[in-house]
Amino acid sequence: MNSKQDAVSRLADKLIVRRGGKSWIQGHSIEEMAATHESPLYIYDGETIAGQYRRLRRALPDDIDIYYSVKANPHPRVIEVLVREGAGCEVASAGEYVAARLAGVAGNRIVFAGPGKGRADLEYVVCHRIEEIHLESFEETRTLESVADDHDKTVDVSIRINPMAALGGGLMMGGEPTAFGFEEESLAEVVREISSCSHLRLRGIHLYTGTQILSADLLLMHWEHAVSLATRVVDLTGKPLHTIDLGGGLGIPYFAHEQELNLEAVAQGARTLVNSAKADPRFAGCRFLVEPGRFLAGPAGIYVARVRSVKSCRGTTFVVLDGGMNHHLAASGNLGQVIRRDYPILNLSRSDPADQCTVVITGPLCTPIDTLGRSVTLTRPRAGDLIGILQSGAYGLSASPINFLGHPTPAEILVNKECYEVITPRGIPFSEASLTADELHSPRPR
């Protein structure tokens, strides 16, 4: 078994159990779920979601609060698992705000970030209660001041800062020209602008410079820079800050060369950072936030699709599934990835170490970018087998072009030890839904 297969096996062993070559999750047969609710489908393990939160909660000092980044997986039932564990939420739209509230999050446990907040979104969250709004442009600042004035409310805000130097990460969101946040070099001007607004109360800062970070040293470097920028803001305003949002960016391993984030090292560095900050009178009453999404939801999800055909073309074996990038754009490498690598993929229907082959895995769409695995070694698949893509609990269905080519949308299932629940039923294609039964049997004349 090569290193890539070893990595897949390690991740699979954390989520599924093999019995007689078949695959089970929390005591439930994946084959039976796929047969009952059809494929493709997403399966999320609620125990794993809660377990990821608990691991992070144990690692971080009590002074650092955990807010789930809803964009990773916005299903209210997924959010609800984390809310029960004690998480707040970070949202990027009024729609995500509604999803969080449906999951049971109080408005004063939600922060609102994002580079292009519209007036309607701002009005909605201001009227329904929001903990903080993270400002990212002068236009947004003026719009929010107008909204707050119209509704005679004082709104707590933080400044999202784009640092001058890139600090590293899987997907850079700072240190370069970007739509995210205010430039660090304009900080004094930003503070003056917000301070001049009679309905905005500056409470803190938000630094988010990268995502998919697997290095504890790099993550802590981000956090240390956030505290140094907070010091500058306090010096500019002459007032203490209430919140330092350290951002998210905690990564999970997808590929053979990647190792898990060392939470012990994160814990040690975080304690040192918080203790040092709390010793400064300027931060005595300050609270810290982290806003992970992928780290909490990603390992809990598996995308399951069935093999429709196995075919050979000029020496390459292609495995064609009944679902593809229309349901899982990230796995195809088309969700902002610079280098396209294969997610951990395995044959859920059979497991035979002596019968392995290397294949290209595609979806059913008529585009060459519908490729979910470019060089995948797994037990030799046959038509009808189920293929599973691991680490798919984050940036899966909601981040994909589900209407492309009109295929059915997959069911989403949340499992725990006692039972499983269909939290989103399989959807029919919009093209089919638009026709009446009579029209299906009696086509209109051309």
Confidence grade of residue 24 (pLDDT, cut at 50, 70, 90): very high
For residue 106, give Cα distances in angstroms to 88, 97, 187, 364.
8, 10, 31, 42
- The yes-or-no verdict on residue 274 having pLDDT over 80 is yes
pLDDT at 338: 60
Question: Model-level pTM?
Answer: 0.93
First to last CA, the chain: 59
Pick the range with the lowest mean pLDDT from 5-9, 371-375, 421-425.
Answer: 5-9
Express each pLDDT in 325-354 by its tens digit: 999 999 999 987 766 789 999 999 999 999
Q: Three-class SS of residue 115? A: coil
Express each pLDDT in 98-145 by its tens digit: 999 999 999 999 999 999 999 999 999 999 999 999 999 999 999 999
Q: Rounded CA gap, 374 and 106, in Å?
A: 44
Closest by CA to 78, choosing from 110, 42, 39, is 42
CA 72, 77, 81, 84 dihedral sign is positive
Q: Do domains 3-45+299-433 and 113-292 have the same CATH topology?
A: no
Express each pLDDT in 394-416 by its tens digit: 999 999 999 999 999 999 999 99
Q: Which CATH class is domain 3-45+299-433?
A: mainly beta
Closest by CA to 110, choosing from 82, 129, 124, is 129
Express each pLDDT in 176-216 by its tens digit: 678 889 999 999 999 999 999 999 999 999 997 778 899 99
- The yes-or-no verdict on residue 255 having pLDDT over 90 is no
Structure tokens at 252: 């999970």
For residue 111, give Cα distances in angstroms to 131, 261, 395, 412.
6, 25, 20, 27
Closest by CA to 203, choosing from 157, 249, 168, 261, is 157
Express each pLDDT in 294-337 by its tens digit: 999 999 999 999 999 999 999 999 999 999 999 999 999 998 77
CATH classification of 113-292 is 1.10.240.10, yes or no? no
Half-sphere exposure of 175 toward its Cβ, with a 13 Å CA cutoff?
12
Confidence grade of residue 430 (pLDDT, cut at 50, 70, 90): low
Q: Where are the domains of the chain?
A: 3-45+299-433, 113-292
